Chain A
Amino acid sequence: MDEILNKIARCIQSGKIDKVSPYPPDMKGEDGADELTKFALENGIKPDQVLDLALIPAMETVGDRFSRKEIYVPQMLMSAKAMNSAMKHLKPFFQSGETKRKGKFIIGTVAGDLHDIGKNLVSMMIEGGGWEVIDLGVDVSTEKFMKAIGENPQAAVGLSALLTTTMENMKKTVAVIKDSYADTRILIGGAPVTWEYCEKIGADFYSPDPQGAVNYLKQLVA
């Protein structure tokens, strides 16, 4: 069992999506995260084990390496693709309730802001951390965030802003959310955002990189 889980983890770390993925070159023609996950589940490995012992630790390694600037955005995207190709085999078990995720996470880029790269990276990493992610997209109004929280009151919320000018909208959205849902944890991020700003606007957590957000959520449910 350990061997196949390690193999899945290695595929995710190196962006080996499936058999036809050309990377990494030394795994050419071999099964990828897709085939290996299917094989594992068909051979008696529990979906929980795939999630907790392969997907989550693999994505954590990817996130840590990104934080240390050892890997770059395209490599992270490849790993996320590999993670998704494994995750799709787990979805039926999530739906049946046999396997539980850590919680729900709502994410979006704030009103007036169309930047999506950072938001997408965080979204992928948090999904890879075992959470169900509700991605509201870019240019998300406060009302839209509120509606999503109304439907998922236990969810944590992530706000992204990449412009100094749209940080104002981040502040407004945080204020409205906290007004109705004082206990909802709000994480913020984006190039111009700082810890200082996070404290000033009453958000709960700031992270300069995706893994920081994953780690914060992890300790919430620990």
Chain B
Amino acid sequence: MKTVLKGRTREVVIDTDGPVIIIGESINPTRRRKLVSTLEAGDFGYLLELAESQINAGAEVLDVNVGYPGVDDVRLLPAAVMAIQERFDVPLCIDSPNPAAIEAALKAARGKCLINSVNGKEASLSGILPLARDHGAAIIGLCMDDDGITNDPGKRLAIAEKIIERSVKTGVCEEDIVIDPLAMAVSAEPMACMTTLETIKLVRQNLGLNITIGASNISFGLPGRETLNAAFMAICIQNGLTCPIANPEKITSTVLATDLIMGRDDFAVRFIMHFQDQTR
């Protein structure tokens, strides 16, 4: 299964047979208040810095989230999208729960975006799927619904199936759906990562779609976060994860190593180039 995204001209193909595509997570104000204050002042410098450093580090798609209390995201999200795409030929992942902001961003964006995200809640399905259809965007389908988050992989799969059914009915085709099985912190729940892994397996076996996860949160509350994230990343990829949302500056070498191990990097070209670039 191939999910094709586009920047201004460049196509990025997320393929269930790999190699892995990294969606850069860093354009997000949760831990970067500066992003909001600079954007509101009409200063796109910091945004473009974040975009550039992630692209240089190996991100092929950039997640764009400017949500913060008091921020007019209907105005700011498209502005950020335009600023990034003017400088970089990169497909974007439009990250907002607000359909109006998503719509404004999709209108402003060039190429083909990924929407982050649609979940199994009725309001989300009916509010966002038509936007994906009308603007030819792909979607991330998040495995939660009106009942919240379940720890049963079978139920998470059922939510994914519901999202797919509604998407197809609305007019978004299957290859444009990327499933997010949910990844939660293992510090608080010993089986959290296994639940994610089981769901990844089920989605791959039963649905054959591309799979993403927000990959950095599993290590919350623990030391050695990079080590933990790297170990989890490798296992997830082996089980079917194809386009993690993560920090490329931390995870690219692990992703390339895993691709190499899985026979997706002939003559280790990508792996070697990554390290040669670093030592240069």
Contact = CB atoms under 8 A, between A and B. Distances in A.
Interface in A154-180: 163-165, 167-168, 171
Interface string B93-109: 00011100000000000
A117 B148 contact: no
Contacts of A171: 69
A72 B67 CA distance: 29
Interface of chain B, main secondary structure: loop
Contacts of B96: 165
A138 interface: yes
A161 to B, nearest CB: 9
Nearest to B221: A73
Interface string B133-154: 0000000000010001100000
A123 interface: no
Given A117-B187, A117-B188, A191 B149 contact: no
A191 B30 contact: yes
Contacts of A73: 185, 187-188, 220-222
Interface in B42-97: 65, 67-69, 96-97
Contacts of B220: 73, 117
A117 B69 contact: no
A135 interface: no
Contacts of B98: 165
Contacts of B69: 164, 167-168, 171, 197
A164 B221 contact: no
A112 B221 CA distance: 23
Nearest to A139: B148
B67 A191 contact: no
Contact of B221 (A72, A114, A139, A163): A72
A37 interface: no
A6 interface: no
Looking at B67, B144, B222, the one whose CB has the most chain A CB atoms below 10 A away is B67
Contacts of A97: none
Contacts of B33: 194
Interface in B20-57: 29-31, 33
A191 B32 CA distance: 11
A137 B107 CA distance: 38
Contacts of A25: none
A114 B148 contact: yes
A77 B33 CA distance: 30
B257 to A, nearest CB: 27
A8 to B, nearest CB: 25
A139 B144 CA distance: 13
A85 to B, nearest CB: 19
A85 B86 CA distance: 60
A192 B222 contact: no
A79 to B, nearest CB: 13
A191 B220 CA distance: 11
B67 A164 contact: yes
A72 B185 contact: no
A84 interface: no
Nearest to A74: B187
A86 B65 CA distance: 45
A194 B33 CA distance: 10
Interface in A100-147: 114, 116-117, 120, 138-139
Contacts of A72: 187, 221-223
Contacts of A192: 29-31, 68
A17 to B, nearest CB: 15
A25 B223 CA distance: 21
Looking at B31, B69, B144, B220, the one whose CB has the most chain A CB atoms below 10 A away is B69
Contacts of B97: 165
Contacts of B30: 163-164, 191-192
Nearest to B28: A164
Contacts of B29: 164, 192
Interface of B: 29-31, 33, 65, 67-69, 96-98, 144, 148-149, 185, 187-188, 220-223
5 closest cross-chain pairs (CB), A and B:
A73-B221, A73-B187, A167-B69, A117-B188, A164-B67
10 contacts: A73-B187, A73-B188, A73-B222, A74-B221, A117-B185, A117-B187, A163-B30, A165-B96, A168-B69, A194-B33
